[in-house]
Amino acid sequence: MASNSDSIYNVMFYIAHHPTEIQFTQPEYTNVVRMGVPDRIKVANPDIYFPDNKLLVNRFQDDFVAKNGNLLDFFFDYTEKKVPNYHEVWVSSAHLPAKHLYFLELSFE
C-alpha cells in the first residue's frame, strides 16, 4: 500500500521537524489536518505517492499506526480533537504543480 511507504513517512518526518515551512489549512472536519508542503522537498517516487493533480487515498496499516504513534500524535495535535483515541489514520496525497506544493491530509478515525 502506497501510504505505508518510506516516502510518506519521510515527508511526515520533515513536516514534524520543519513546521514553519508548511502551510497548514483549517479543514471543515475536526478530525483532519491538511498541509501544503513545498515541492522543492526531495521525495522518493513522487509520481507514485504524490501524483500530479490527482488524489491518492489510502489507510495506514495498523502496524504503521502502532509503530509511529508519536509522529502521528504530532499531527493529531493540529486537529480540533483533544484526546488521541483514533484507531485508523487515512492519508490523502497529491502534487499541485501550479501551486508548487505537495498536498498531504491525514484523517484520524
Q: Which tens digits make up the pLDDT trace of 60-91?
A: 999 999 999 999 999 999 999 888 889 999 99
Residue 84: per-residue pLDDT:
84
Using 70 as the pLDDT threshold, list the residues of the chain that sit under it: 1-4
pTM of the model as a whole: 0.92
What are the residues facing 93 on neighbouring strands? 56, 104
**pLDDT in the model for residue 26:** 82
* Burial of 2 from C-beta contacts in 10 A (0-12 / 13-18 / 19+): middle
Strand order across the 101-108 sheet: 23-25, 32-38, 101-108, 89-96, 56-59
